[in-house]
Structure 1
Amino acid sequence: MKHLFFIFGMCLILVACQQKEKSIVIETITDTSTLEDVPVFDSVGYSEIDYLYDAMYRGHNEYSGTLVVDKEYYIKNKFQRGEVVFFKTPKTGQKNVARVIGLPGETLEIKDGQIFINNKKLKAFYAKSMNNGISDFHTYQKMMKANGNEIIGENDWKEYFHRNLKSVVIPKNEVFILADNGWRIKDSYELGPISQDYIEGKVLGMAEDY
């Protein structure tokens, strides 16, 4: 009889553990529409911007060179997650390029390098802190060694790949933007959400003759 009670008790424990595992499953929010490849775009009718900076590199000089920018796009269109924008940095006035991550009314948080939107884990190629397309320190370390390079400021890099940001609610008419190489420029990680007035246009892609 005691043996039966023991088996029954173990079954209850297993069921409880399974229920607990189910209860901690993290919901996700997915961006499947944003393309990883940078489109080549005909600039006729749009603005051309020379942007020789590596804030958006993911390994193939992405968004570096002559960019095609639609400066009137957001007059008629709403911001969408994943879009790349040309913006003026508050206070400094420096022009830069970054990606729209959070939209008005959303709550954004970064935990251990991973972006969360409204407590849901963002699933997208840009959803984690990365450098040149690499989103974890060990892979970055191997790549650097394979290329015969030393990592300067190893602890800083470890901290960057595992960086955290307390939850922030994005106000109306503001957006949260991050560069794919977030350590290279001042973006919303440092500045917080920025007014849409600072967004000067949507980056459509690279000019055909770049």
Structure 2
Amino acid sequence: MNNQFVVYLIKTLKILLAITLAIFLVRSFVLEPGRVNGRSMEKTMIDEDLFFVNKFTLLYKPPQRGQIVQFIEPENKTLTIKRIIGLPGETINIKQNHIYITPRNGTEFRLEEPYLTNNIHTEAVGIFSANSLVVKENEYFVLGDNRTQSKDSRYYGTINRAFILGLVVPTNN
């Protein structure tokens, strides 16, 4: 084998290794693609829509109400996307098909949800059928936008911050 070819081969392998490492680092810590699986986020996102998960932002800033997040669902350990509704320390109530939130040391307010379609309302079902719920520290209350088709915090409770992987960035808009 000629020496020039060996040098070229080594340079090429180094470049391919650097590219592979860069892709791995970006997907692990910055941005990862995903695909919607199911109808729980309709009309915001529909089944099979592509999205990106922004993992970087949550390294320095906690999730906020209204953001869509990807997390590991506690019951079956699958990747799931839902909207953050309740924050740590808040009390969540579902009354007359609307969500009411009482912040820590605050006054109860009705949550305005412009992302819901007119025929979607929130029912108190599952573990949420009789009582209000206080969101514990480092926990979040999440719901799907298509409430009638969504298995969410009303069924499996709040989500620990450690299971939230990142913010969902839809590609359909």
TM-score of the aligned structures, taking structure 2 as reference length:
0.69
Q: What is the aligned partner in structure 1 of residue 113 from structure 2?
A: 124
- Cα RMSD over matched residues? 2.6
Q: Match for 1:163: what amino acid?
A: E
Could you list the runs of 4 or more consecutive aligned residues of structure 1 that deviate by over 6 angstroms after TM superposition? none
Q: What is the aligned partner in structure 2 of residue 169 from structure 1?
A: 134
Aligned residues: 136
1:205, CA displacement in angstroms?
1.8
1:102, CA displacement in angstroms?
0.4
Q: What is the aligned partner in structure 2 of residue 183 from structure 1?
A: 148
The answer to which of 88-97 and 102-111 deviates more is 88-97
Which protein, 1 or 2, shows the higher relative CO under an 8 Å CA cutoff with sep ≥ 6?
1
Q: Match for 2:109: what amino acid?
A: K
1:103, CA displacement in angstroms?
0.3
- Kept in 1: contact 2:88–2:140 (CA 8 A): yes
1:89, CA displacement in angstroms?
0.7
Q: What is the aligned partner in structure 2 of residue 194 from structure 1?
A: 159
- Kept in 2: contact 1:57–1:64 (CA 8 A): no
Q: What is the aligned partner in structure 2 of residue 77 from structure 1?
A: 61
Query: Aligned in 2, Cα 1:81/1:90: closer, same or farther, shift over 3 Å?
Result: same
SS of residue matched to 2:147: coil
TM-score of the aligned structures, taking structure 1 as reference length:
0.57
The one-character-per-residue Cα deviations of 1:86-145 (angstroms, maximum 9, x if unpaired) are 11110201211100000001111111210000121112325xxx6xx2335xxxxxxxxx
Structure 2 residue aligned with 1:108, among 74, 80, 92? 92
1:51, CA displacement in angstroms?
2.0
In 2, Cα distance between the equivalents of 1:61 and 1:78?
23
Equivalent residues in 2 for 1:1-210, closer than 5 Å: 46-58=31-43, 61-62=45-46, 64-118=48-102, 119-126=108-115, 133-135=117-119, 161=121, 163-164=123-124, 165=128, 166-206=131-171
1:64, CA displacement in angstroms?
4.3
SS of residue matched to 2:133: strand
Q: Match for 1:95: what amino acid?
A: L
Query: Aligned in 2, Cα 1:106/1:94: closer, same or farther, shift over 3 Å?
Result: same
- Kept in 2: contact 1:67–1:203 (CA 8 A): yes
1:198, CA displacement in angstroms?
1.4
In 2, Cα distance between the equivalents of 1:180 and 1:193?
16
The one-character-per-residue Cα deviations of 1:33-77 (angstroms, maximum 9, x if unpaired) are xxxxxxxxxx9962111224221112x754742111112321111
Q: Match for 1:121: what amino acid?
A: R
Flag structure 1 segments of 5+ consecutive residues without an equivalent: 1-42, 137-160
